[in-house]
């Protein structure tokens, strides 16, 4: 198994498209790293450069300490699983699994051993499964065969390009868990590309958030969620997304307040040093929907953390309710328990957990804290 290092890696297509811009990334041995970001941000291109399917315009890529820029894909000892499975339709499951090894002239016995081992890991041994053709399989089973083809190779690194996108929601959740188990069992380096932030949070040991070809932040799931480094990451990770309220920082009698029409919230003392430079200046206040409470259910409902807001919409989600509210010029959503009984146009006292507050510079969009 191996680590993968990208040093200052860029990729241009012609003069106009710079798909990946100076990416530095270290994927450790046995780590599960997820590249996530909106469509077109350069995730696939990055992965394909690691795979050797795309030339590197600038920079270096190392696999297991060896520079691979000029090593063709087939000699990089990696295996890639694609979104569209890329199975051979005329071959049985067994033959599909065996194909890559046959090509590399493995002995028949070894091929059979590896195919059966992979099939067993992935639950593909049942009944006549191994002799079926891809068209006789469900979407989930096809995806398992695609993963199996990677496993039999016992590669140094597994690469996954949106492997679950073609599956329905329920199957996606199931396959997600299977991939997690697979990673635990195989103890190998995996790099996984997805546009789905939930998939990223549940699968990744560490997550790389990309935007416009640039890495925005690399962090483990908890840190990414709790301490996003900028407004883009804060808004991309989490559902419903973090609320962003526009306003000004006021300082009164040794306290700092976030202020806008209809909103005045006191900041906590531990945030004073970082916010003091923004006194009388505009800021963006970020707060996650689960950190806003209806006053009647709040534990700490002090008036300096409470505002009055009007209910715009109520969305029941089973165990929870999303309440969409307006206060002055700002709108936000609160994610509360289904015990709450908000109704449209009602005025509610909403309490903000200011220990969970985030502030962003309105120009640079970098986190102030």
Residues that bind ligand ADP (CB under 6 A): 13, 17, 19, 37, 39-45
Shortest distance in whole angstroms from residue 115 CB to ligand ADP: 31
What's the token pair of residue 36?
Answer: 């996530």
Shortest distance in whole angstroms from residue 72 CB to ligand ADP: 18
Which CB atom, from 112 or from 196, has the smaller least distance to ligand ADP? 196
Contact 321, 354 (CB under 8 A): no
Q: How far apart are CA 49 and CA 63, in angstroms?
A: 12
Which CB atom, from 13 or from 369, has the smaller least distance to ligand ADP? 13
Shortest distance in whole angstroms from residue 242 CB to ligand ADP: 22
Other beta carbons less than 10 A from residue 106's beta carbon? 17
Shortest distance in whole angstroms from residue 232 CB to ligand ADP: 14
Shortest distance in whole angstroms from residue 128 CB to ligand ADP: 37
Shortest distance in whole angstroms from residue 43 CB to ligand ADP: 4
Place of tokens 């051979």: 88
Contact 160, 199 (CB under 8 A): no
Which CB atom, from 34 or from 41, has the smaller least distance to ligand ADP? 41
Among residues 225, 255, 191, which one has the least CA distance to residue 23?
191
Which CB atom, from 41 or from 81, has the smaller least distance to ligand ADP? 41
Q: How far apart are CA 203 and CA 109, in angstroms?
A: 34
Q: What single string gives the DSSP state of each residue in 301-349?
A: --GGGEEEEEEEEEEE-SSEEEEEEEETTEEEEEEEETT----TT-EEE
Contact 144, 92 (CB under 8 A): no
Which CB atom, from 59 or from 140, has the smaller least distance to ligand ADP? 59
Place of tokens 């209910």: 311
Tallying the residues shown for the chain, one arrives at: 369
Which CB atom, from 59 or from 328, has the smaller least distance to ligand ADP? 59
């Amino acid at each position: 198994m191996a680590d993968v290092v990208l040093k200052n890696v860029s990729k241009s297509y012609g003069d106009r498209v710079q798909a990946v811009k100076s990416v530095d990334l270290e994927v450790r041995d046995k780590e599960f790293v997820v590249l996530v970001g909106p469509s077109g941000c350069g995730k696939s291109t990055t992965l394909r450069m690691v795979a050797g399917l795309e030339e590197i315009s600038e920079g270096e890529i190392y696999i297991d300490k060896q520079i691979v820029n000029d090593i063709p894909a087939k000699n990089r000892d990696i295996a890639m699983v694609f979104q569209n499975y890329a199975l051979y339709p005329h071959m049985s499951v067994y033959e599909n699994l065996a194909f890559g090894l046959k090509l590399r002239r493995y002995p028949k016995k070894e091929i059979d051993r590896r195919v059966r081992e992979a099939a067993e890991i992935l639950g593909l041994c049942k009944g006549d499964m191994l002799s079926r053709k891809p068209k006789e399989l469900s979407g989930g089973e096809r995806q398992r065969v695609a993963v199996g083809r990677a496993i039999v190779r016992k590669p140094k690194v597994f690469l996954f390009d949106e492997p679950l996108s073609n599956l329905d929601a329920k199957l996606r959740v199931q396959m997600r868990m299977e991939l997690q188990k697979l990673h635990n069992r195989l103890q190998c380096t995996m790099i996984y590309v997805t546009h789905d932030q939930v998939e990223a949070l549940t699968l990744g040991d560490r997550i790389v958030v990309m935007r416009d070809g640039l890495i925005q932040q690399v962090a483990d799931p908890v840190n990414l969620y709790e301490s996003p480094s900028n407004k883009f990451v804060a808004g991309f990770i989490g559902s419903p997304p973090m609320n962003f309220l526009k306003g000004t920082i006021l300082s009164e009698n040794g306290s700092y307040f976030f202020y806008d029409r209809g909103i005045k919230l006191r900041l906590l003392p531990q945030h004073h040093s970082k916010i003091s430079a923004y006194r009388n200046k505009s800021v963006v206040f970020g707060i996650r929907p689960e950190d806003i409470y209806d006053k009647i259910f709040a534990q700490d409902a002090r008036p300096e953390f409470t505002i009055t807001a009007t209910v715009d919409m109520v969305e029941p989600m089973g165990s929870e309710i999303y309440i969409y509210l307006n206060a002055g010029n700002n709108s936000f959503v609160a994610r509360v328990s289904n015990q709450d009984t908000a109704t449209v146009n009602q005025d509610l006292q909403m309490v903000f957990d200011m220990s969970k507050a985030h502030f962003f510079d309105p120009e640079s969009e970098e986190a102030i804290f």
